[in-house]
Amino acid sequence: MTGVGDRLTVEIEAIAHGGHCVARFDGRVIFVRHALPGEQVEVVISGLGPKGRYLQADVVNVVSPSADRVTPACQYASDCGGCDFQHVRLSRQRELKAQVLREQLVRLGGVEEISGQSLEDCIHVAAVPGDTDGLNWRTRVRYAIDSAGRVGFRRHHSHAVVPIESCALASTALTDMKVQDLQWPTTRDVIAVAANSGDRVAIPEPTHVGTPARSLPVDVAIPGLRGRGWVRELAGGREWRVAADGFWQVHPGAAEALVAYVRQILQPRPGEHLLDLYSGVGLFAGLLAPDVGPAGLIDAVEVSITACADARRNLHDVPTVRIHQAAVDTWLMSSRPSDVDIVVLDPPRGGAGRRVIESIVDVAPRAVAYVACDPAALGRDIGYARARGWQVASVRGFDLFPMTHHMEAVALLVPGAGA
Ligand SMILES: C[S@@+](CC[C@H](N)C(=O)[O-])C[C@H]1O[C@@H](n2cnc3c(N)ncnc32)[C@H](O)[C@@H]1O
């Protein structure tokens, strides 16, 4: 019986959700990291799925490489759990992400075609404008600290820490904070943020006491020790206050790219009523407010007290935005908003879920822009909407996380003829 530590030679089949490829051995599926479709590779089994139903493995030797295989830009690529696609040509990374996105829409959403077009023809994953090499884009990071106090990242599916001296994905401003150059003996994690305004914050967790935080550059804020625990981000001609441990897109081009695309597909009109669900610090509400104009109305719903406080500050000059601190499902059930025209839906990784999707369908907007960071959750939620007679009008992927398997996808959902 094949078990952890065994070494096998396998043929790699398709890419799967989660950044690994599928291979088979003795009738069992093996999910292989750091492989590419069409390759023959030697792997070492690294884990077993529940009841041994499938195996997990990592490539240790490439017998016949794919033409899309490249030398990773980062020396830690095979060890560190952060990047799964460093060994893949950048344009091929995007093709693989598009394949995964299509597969999740078919399997979980039951979507076979969109407006008469095959998914191959109409679903693609695009680069963020200006991102040419997929490196140095990370503006926020959570470093893990090992037992010797060294900075690193956790191994895939493990608590073990791989120490690093530099991260190829970190922005120059983040690297210049020098968190990775210090020893952090009493710390478990360090959150580091380098905002595009120039603000920089480091948060040692659980505490800065006994850490070398004071040795960071003087302009790096350390909450509780010096400076403040929030940063200013710039997007769409506005300044956004965001808690350093709160939510803001990590790729510097992401916020504006997503808002521009959501505007393009939703086409908000003057006087319309927009729901911004899972609204964070108010990004979509604030930047779409001019589109609905002074006669329009935006209800923004967000569960985090801190994010709502930041949103109120960020949008104090936009009277058409109302911020509701609440869980989206309970707010929709209790408020029963009426005369809603359009919805921006931007849930966390787990998706919105059946109750939220059905409540939105009951509100009967003319269109929903669904911004998703997990294509499986998007597929599931689309399935709930389709079961209520809605349809998918378009889907586009955004490569907001190059060198990793992660992606963002934006779907336009509209009521079908019978809805
Ligand atoms: C992917 S972020 C999107 C934030 C915002 N739309 C943006 O682009 O900056 C998801 C947000 O949903 C919030 N959230 C998570 N669960 C929630 C819930 N059940 N109800 C309302 N907000 C929730 C999180 O706090 C987070 O701010």
User: What separation in Å is there between the alpha carbon of 219 and the centre of ligand 1?
Assistant: 29
Question: Is 122 assigned a catalytic role?
Answer: no
Q: pTM, whole model, 2 decimals? A: 0.96
Residues with CB under 6 A from ligand 1: 247-248, 278-280, 283-284, 301-304, 307, 327-328, 346-348
**For residues 303 and 128, what is the distance between their CA atoms, to the nearest angstrom?**
28
Q: What is the reported pLDDT for 173?
A: 97
The residues pairing with 67 across neighbouring beta strands, listed in sequence order, are none
CB 383 within 8 A of CB 112: no
Q: What is the reported pLDDT for 285?
A: 98
Question: Which amino acid, 106?
Answer: V
Q: What is the reported pLDDT for 320?
A: 98
Q: Whose CA is nearest to atom 4 of ligand 1?
A: 280
Q: What is the reported pLDDT for 158?
A: 86
User: What separation in Å is there between the alpha carbon of 24 and the centre of ligand 1?
Assistant: 38
Domains of the chain: 7-64 (2.40.50.140), 101-130+251-415 (3.40.50.150), 140-243 (2.40.50.1070)
User: What separation in Å is there between the alpha carbon of 303 and the centre of ligand 1?
Assistant: 7
- The model's pLDDT over 256-307, given as tens digits with 9 standing for 90+, comes to 999 999 999 999 999 999 999 999 999 999 999 999 999 999 999 999 999 9
The ranges of the chain with pLDDT < 50 are none
- The model's pLDDT over 223-242, given as tens digits with 9 standing for 90+, comes to 999 999 999 999 999 999 99
Q: Whose CA is nearest to atom 15 of ligand 1?
A: 348
Ligand 1 atom closest to Cα of 255?
A: 8
Q: What is the reported pLDDT for 78?
A: 87
Q: What is the reported pLDDT for 318?
A: 98
Tell me which residue of 109, 101, 74 sits closest to 88, measured CA to CA.
74
Q: Whose CA is nearest to atom 7 of ligand 1?
A: 280
Q: What is the reported pLDDT for 419?
A: 67
**For residues 54 and 143, what is the distance between their CA atoms, to the nearest angstrom?**
30
Q: What is the reported pLDDT for 111?
A: 97
